[in-house]
Structure 1
Amino acid sequence: MTLVSQSNEESTCERPTSKYAQYTGVLAATLAAFSIGTYLSWTSSALPLYNKNDTLSVSDQEGSWISSLVPLGAIPITIPAGMLADKFGRKRTIWAITVPLFLCWYIIAFAQSKIWIFLGRFVAGAACGAASVVVPMFTSEIAEQSIRGLLGTIFQLQITAGILFAYATAFTDNLHVIAILCSVAPALLLISFPFVPESPAWLVMQGRKNEANDVLKHFRGAHYRTETELTRLELQASEMREAKASIFDLRKYQKAICITLGLMIFQQLSGVNTLIFYAKKIFDDAGSTLSSSTSSVIVGAVQVVATYCSTILIERAGRKLLLFISVSVMATCMFTLSGYFHFQNSHDLSSVSWIPLLSFAVFIVIFSIGFGPIPWLMVGELFTNNVKSAASAATAICNWTLAFLVTKCFQDMVDLMGISSSFATFGVISLIGTVFVSTVVPETKGRSVEEIQIELYGTQISSIPRETDPEV
């Protein structure tokens, strides 16, 4: 009886007594994600205002460059960002990233020529790309296992909240005010983040065990017994040093790479970023009875709610089922938008002017519970720990590159074939995506990495011969 009581007491002492510090740390760090959301959707509110400004008017082609420079700037920084975080620490890297996230709003707000707008958007894009790598890394490393999944979803939730915020600023009808309001999030991060401790995992990797012990007590509670978790972190650090993989080692994971990159391709070629970047313009062209600003805010609010609800659905439903439903409905929404714009010029559609808003909202909802979060989730489920970092970098580069191409080419598509055919093209790509999900993507829910590898390769990846083996 005494032994049982003692064991229970020790177990209780090992459990964290408070999660408050973890939540506040994650909420502070993900203000960078909020800022990413504002940079992504700022063009929806701002570009129409530039066209009202005779001193700094923006053509459609220039507008497409302004929109696409954020994802373009993110591409080259994706891999170096992880290296910088390993060298200088997660905390200092995030704080350094926040400086351009803050300053670029003022470059954009008070730009006297378009070249400064282009420069501000490109530099901000580089900061967004770095934040998309380092902030999730920091979040996963300060969170305890029982709430790691929940805290991990806050990053995406903050992006959608930032998108909604930027849509809402359109009501000010002032370019300076929009930019200054959007600068509040990175300003709060600059002020608050010095008070957030460094990642304990990084401190252990640097051999600073005593500091890691203090940080764990900060994040877990003063009475938390840190020995077990410190030992686990030391073991993980040792394994990472011994088995750290480069992006070239992904050649042994060809099927997993095809699946993750395929999902990223269909995610971006679904046209989601064109809807986010050009929401206000699309609603203006659709002639909805609601104002374009109101419609954009409604869609942004729906996206925030859907992203929050997606965390529950992803844990309860299979990944493959959600992906299939998501891509099928996305195709239907795009074909509906295409049909509306096709018949708009030849028929009176005033009685059904709600169709674009409904299609837009349904698309965003279904994207947020399927093709938005799940492709990123699959990266963690298809690869072993030693290559997850390389796999994440490869998929992030693919994602940002496609986001740039789709955003930049959308205006060219509209000029070449019209907005109706452009939406139809996105719909056809999503239809092809349903075939890809049905035939190529495995179900990963409730299965270990080893079980998934056996399904994909017929054996565990560790037993697959390396290129240095004699038989290869």
Structure 2
Amino acid sequence: MPAGFQQLGGEVIFSLRTVTGTFVLSVFTAVLGSLEFGYNIGVINAPQKMIEKDYNATWIERYGEPIPTGTLTSLWSLSVAIFSIGGMLSSFCVGFVSEWLGRKAMLVNNVFAFLGGSLMGMSKLCSSFEMMILGRFIIGAYCGLASGLTPMYVGEISPTSLRGALGTLHQLAIVTGILIAQVLGLEVLLGSEHLWPVLMGLTVVPTVLQMALLPFCPESPRFLYIVRCQEHHAKRGLRRLTGKQEVGDMLAEMKEEKRKMDMERKGIFYYSTSIFMKAGVQSPVYATIGAGVVNCAFTVVSLFLIERMGRRTLHMLGLGGMCICAIIMTTALALLESVPWMSYISMLSIFGFVAFFEIGPGPIPWFFVAELFSQGPRPAAMAVAGFSNWTANFIVGMCFQYVAELLGPYVFLIFAALLLFFLIFTFFRVPETRGKTFDQIAANFQHHSAGGMMDMDLDMDLDKPSTELDYLGDESIN
């Protein structure tokens, strides 16, 4: 067993006393980007009415008449969805940016966050909803890069045995940011008519903190050695992260991955308040905050289960639970007018949907995609995955309100059908990656993909001795 681990009751127990300060600082600093990502997802929700009121005031100031209802709906939908457009465009650049700048990409990315936060914070003072929309676009570009760079960096500096647990920190930081935004967005705090610009501008706080801390964090040793061929700097980074002077074994594993890489070719919270209102909840803002609490709580649950149950199992559990909750939610909302107590079932199903999301589909895909690929194609894979995610976010953010008006409660059946499809796909086509090195995962994935059918027995028995658990940082990646 590696230093810092004990075998107890068949479980691997990690001792925090053996974790270096540099490693903790590096992970904390990286996930500040995820916190800001979550904050900007949740911040737009609570003050919606106040922001729309200012949009109307600006329209009256310019044109001498109230803003048409359809125009206001379009402007608000654009304010929500353009965040995803920025994310779509920038996430597709993750591969190029990460290989060009490495860890420094996170530092440069903060320029987008500072500029976007400033534009949103100044939009009311300047009587410009265009500044608000542009700020949302730019902050979306920041989040698109952060959603790829953070899990990639954290995974690359993490030990194999903790890569899954630490990978969930990206999602935990996201949902924590959402919750912070929802609480601060209450009208009694910063969600008031005069203070909502402060709420929007607060996004620069984690930006400044991350910019101050990043210079003290080492570059990913895996990136330095495999991509940049800087063996000396990679060794120095490994020593800082692990606290060990002898890092030959770690470097040997990287050399093997580099050798194989050289032969490869390069390769729901936007409308949560309105959903609760339709469910008959009297105080939808507080119900939204309750969902945020569930978000955080079950992300923590996932953090503790991920290395025990495996990625694939938790992901399928989450997909199945979400599908069932979506069907229950549809039934409850359809019967709400004739059966008033169905509002409670609706709220419970929403909480259940959120809980199952955070058990698997929320945190796992962010780092799971990175695990499926070796260092060479990993940035490109993260870019494609990020682009797909942001595209889906844009479609939901832009279209949900219109589709919900057209289909009513049956809109959630669309989600249920998609979830069922993803569950079936995961069962037949997605491998387990728990306890495996990046090189083993890539080889196994390619082998079974070529065979056309995934092996259902890919789960690794952690009770058995494993050479890839012999050092901290052997799998040195949001």
Query: Which residue in the other structure is 1:177 paired with?
Result: 198
| Residues 94 and 379, structure 2, Cα contact 8 Å, conserved in 1 | no
Residue in 2 aligned with 1:296?
288
Say whether 1:166 aligns with 2:181.
Answer: yes
- CA-to-partner distance for each residue in 1:358-401, whole Å, 9 max, x for gaps? 11111011111122234445535655554343333222222211
- Number of paired residues? 412
Q: 1:237 to 1:443 in 2, by over 3 A?
A: closer
Per-residue deviation, 1:324: 3.8
In structure 2, do the counterparts of structure 1 residues 451 and 215 end up closer, same or farther at CA, with 3 Å as the change threshold? Answer: closer
1:339 pairs, out of 317, 327, 331, with 331
Report the AA paired with residue 211 of structure 2.
L
Amino acid at match of 1:278: Y
CA distance in 2, matches of 1:212, 1:235: 15
Contact 1:33/1:158 (8 A) holds in 2: yes
Q: 1:155 aligns with which of 149, 156, 170?
A: 170
User: In 2, are the aligned partners of 1:41 and 1:163 still within 8 Å (CA)?
Assistant: yes
Mapping 1:312-461, distance limit 5 Å: 312-317=304-309, 319-344=311-336, 346-347=337-338, 349=340, 351-376=341-366, 378-380=368-370, 382-383=372-373, 386-418=376-408, 420-438=409-427, 440-441=429-430, 449=441, 450-458=443-451
The one-letter code sitting in structure 2 at the alignment partner of 1:307 is T
Cα gap change, 1:60 to 1:226, in 2 (>3 Å) = same
Q: Structure 2 CA distance, aligned partners of 1:429 and 1:87? A: 36
Aligned pair 1:85/2:77, yes or no?
Answer: no
SS in 2 for 1:76: helix
1:229-285 deviations in whole A, cap 9, x for unaligned?
Answer: 345445544543x235334xxxxxxxxxxxxxxxxxxxxxxxxx2xx1111222233
DSSP 3-state at the match of 1:367: helix
Given that residues 35 and 176 in structure 2 are in contact (C-alpha distance below 8 angstroms), is that contact kept between their aligned partners in structure 1? yes
Tell me whether 24-33 or 387-396 shows the greater mean CA deviation: 387-396
Q: Deviations over 1:81-102 (max 9, x none)?
A: 3222222231x21011112213
Contact 1:334 1:426 in 2 (8 A): yes
Q: Distance in 1 between matches of 2:117 and 2:85?
A: 17
1:224 maps onto 2:245 in alignment: yes
1:326–1:366: 8 Å Cα contact kept in structure 2?
yes
Specify the alignment match of 1:265 in structure 2. Answer: none
Aligned to 1:282: 275
Residues 321 and 142 from structure 1, CA distance in 2 versus in 1: closer, same or farther, beyond 3 angstroms? Answer: closer
1:26 match: 27
Compute the TM-score of the two structures, normalised by the length of structure 2: 0.77
String of CA shifts for 1:412-464, please: whole Å, max 9, x gaps: 2023233x122233233334444444555556667854455444423999xxx
Decide whether the 8 Å contact of 1:318 with 1:444 is kept in 2: yes
| Aligned residue in 2 for 1:470 | none
Give the direction of change, closer, same or farther, for the CA distance of 1:72–1:440 in structure 2 (3 Å limit).
Answer: same
Question: What is the deviation of 1:21?
Answer: 1.5
Aligned partners of 1:119, 1:298: CA distance in 2, in Å?
30
What amino acid maps onto 1:424 in structure 2?
L
Partner of 1:139: 154
For structure 1, the residue ranges without an aligned partner over 5 or more in a row are 1-15, 248-272, 462-472
Query: Is the 1:33–1:156 Cα contact (8 Å) retained in structure 2?
Result: yes
Secondary structure of 2:43's aligned partner: helix
Per the alignment, residue 47 of structure 2 pairs with 46
Q: Per chain length, whose mean CA-contact separation is higher, i.e. which structure has more relative contact order (CA < 8 Å, sep 6+)? A: 2
- Is 1:101 aligned with 2:113? yes
Q: Let me know the Cα RMSD of the aligned residues.
A: 3.0
Q: Identity, % of aligned pairs?
A: 29
1:4-46 CA-to-partner distances (Å, cap 9, x unmatched) read xxxxxxxxxxxx9543221111111110111111111222123
Spell out the pairing of 1:113-262 with structure 2 (5 A cutoff): 113-171=128-186, 172=189, 173-174=191-192, 175-204=196-225, 205-221=227-243, 224-234=245-255, 236-237=257-258, 239-240=260-261, 242-247=262-267
Decide whether aligned partners of structure 1 residues 152 and 428 sit closer, same or farther in structure 2, where only a CA change above 3 A counts: closer
Residue identity in the other structure for 1:169: L
- 1:65 is aligned, of 67, 78, 82, to 78
Q: Give ranges in structure 2 of 5+ residues lacking alignment.
A: 1-16, 59-66, 455-478
Against the structure 1 CA distance between its residues 164 and 313, is the aligned structure 2 distance closer, same or farther, given a 3 Å change threshold?
A: same
Query: For the residues of structure 2 that align with 1:195 and 1:326, how far apart are their CA atoms?
Result: 37
CA distance in 2, matches of 1:444, 1:198: 25
Contact 2:36 2:174 survives alignment (8 Å): yes
CA distance in 1, matches of 2:309, 2:237: 36
Distance of aligned partners of 1:435 and 1:18 in 2 relative to their CA distance in 1, 3 Å threshold: closer
TM-score, normalised relative to structure 1: 0.78
Task: Please tell me whether the aligned partners of residues 64 and 407 of structure 1 are also in contact (alpha carbons under 8 angstroms).
Answer: yes
Deviation of 1:108 (Å): 0.9
- 1:357: Cα distance to partner? 2.6
2:407 and 2:356 map into 1 onto residues whose CA distance is 27
Aligned amino acid, residue 149 of structure 1: G
